[in-house]
Structure 1
Amino acid sequence: MIQKENIIVGISIGDLNGIGGEIVLKTFEDARILDFCTPVIFASAKTMNFFKTHFKSGINFHNINNISQLTTGKVNVFNCWNDPVKIEFGKEDVTIGRYAIKSLEAATKALKDNDVDVLVTAPINKHNIQSEDFKFPGHTDYLAQQLEGESLMFMVTESLRVGLLTDHVPVKDIVEHISEDLIVKKINTVYDSLKRDFKIGKPKIAVLGINPHTGDNGVIGSEDDAVLRPTLKKIKDEGKLVYGPYAADSFFGSDNYKNFDAIIATYHDQGLIPFKTLSFGQGVNFTAGLNKVRTSPDHGTAYEIAGKGKADSSSFKEAVFTALQIYKNRFDYEELTSNPLKKANK
């Protein structure tokens, strides 16, 4: 891994009928960000010029058909298609879903080929992207297949990090997915990410219970006692600072979360409801555990405000800066772990 002064950020444009185009424009209208990175938007010149005109943006795009044509200090647009696209803000459209996947696939290929250093994904519609060729519930599952490592949905801000044991799983199936192997794998992924991606030397992790009140000694379910507690004890006996299970209903309201470097929730809403309540608009969805860095904003396509110029770009901008910081942290970590003398002198 080579440290770069100007990191190349690949951007998949997401659902064209949503707010993706708007928040990408708003993020890079501040030219100061180009001092830190070089963005490459995977879409088309025609599409991005449509957004530019519609939102009255002053951005001047540098259009390229090959990554070798990329220019630093510019907002580059990599042409993934040349045909005109009918954009109807706020409308769910299967055709638009296909363009979202074209963008994602091209950006992911560039990431795998080291043509871009990090990937930031604008929101997609999980329904209209489905096809015979693309059967994934979202970005995380697709990238887990495409990239090396053990993926984990990790919602992060500067002061709050929430990982998930299970992510896009129906509530009725959650317990079936939770096993000792899964718990160990996910906790290790969070632990390693905290050290490598966030520069935390001795991570302290809390794990939330599966059942209300962590089962109340078997009165409200046996899974916490049968699976979760013994597995956490094994992990803690290995020397990791892992605590729990904690009753989820009071954990965040009591501010207990502030005592930990990360919290692992057992299912999607258990973790994301408090995370988004505490940090909405500033949070970032980071796919931890992969050999490449990918982030996204903590919101969806927001069809109800698409095209109206009302979208808040804060979370997307945070996603860009988080990707840059994690990329730099990984470089520092690899330098430190590969150089024992530097580690000893630190």
Structure 2
Amino acid sequence: MSLLPAWLAFDGFAWPWCLLLCLLPWLVRLLPPIIGDQQPALQVPWANRLQQVAAGNRGLVSPHKFPWLAWLAWCLVCVAVARPQQLGPAVAPPQAGREMMLAVDLSGSMGEEDMALGGRAVDRLTAIKAVVSDFLDRRDGDRIGLIVFGDRAFALTPLTQDRASVRQQLQTMVVGLAGRSTAMGDAIALATKRLQQQPNPEKVLILLTDGVNTAGTLDPQKAAQIAKQAGVRIHAIAFGGDGAAVSLLGFQLPLGGGDDVDEAGLARIAKVTGGKFFRARDTGQLVGIYQEIDKLEPVQRQGQAVRPLIERYPAPLSAALVLGLLAVLWPRRTA
């Protein structure tokens, strides 16, 4: 570890041969002096005054009488020209991820409390928030956007690497925020529109719903064809219990009603775009599905770290300027 301050420490020179220029003043001093004609070329009445002025101008530097301050300033200039460099801290290249949109169904059926989380019964949306939040923690390097859909589809967050803002918007979602119906086709179309504008070829949509398409202007199968043409890969998740019971602390609590999930339609959507269809009937299965998606859509990890070169020439160059000024002004002050 260097004992010098950070702005003085360096590990080497880019052009070390420039240090040989430090000898240039002595080489100039070895040159024979220039002997001029001793005969006066011009007779003027003020010649004696000119000689006195010339003799009194001792602040000028002569190559045959090189002051030590000026020589030191010259050496520092040579050091700066040689470009002293220091290895900076290791920097890893950024991770190469995907453009990923998360489309979450907020229709009325997402409020059914047929899920278990932490030993208590919760509604489907609460379970989704917990699982998707954990999924976001593992997607370092992706640009992620969030879409919700009910009667219509809305983009809550654009594609961004700020996963904290996506997680914040995720936690603020409530059932019925976008309406009580399910505009699945519109959600696919909106996600495709946002994704196809990106240059990254890895475009993924994770579509999560617990129902069938009951609203919107675009049929989900037609929207899937558009997504395929745009290079968007859709992983479709059908979520929700069977409507019979929920497991809580080892007991099966009966629940009324049944689910109407278009599993066949979701499977076709996934297949036509090159994605995969999943069925989750409880929170544990949903966790496993997002872990499986992590394997299907892996984030390229950081490459080998590199240490950038930091230029350290400003310090010797600044010192050379200060010493050069002293070399010129100091003789004048002591004259």
Q: What is the TM-score of this pair, normalised by structure 2?
A: 0.22
Q: What is the TM-score of this pair, normalised by structure 1?
A: 0.22
Report the structure number with the largest CA radius of gyration. Answer: 2
Higher helix share: 1
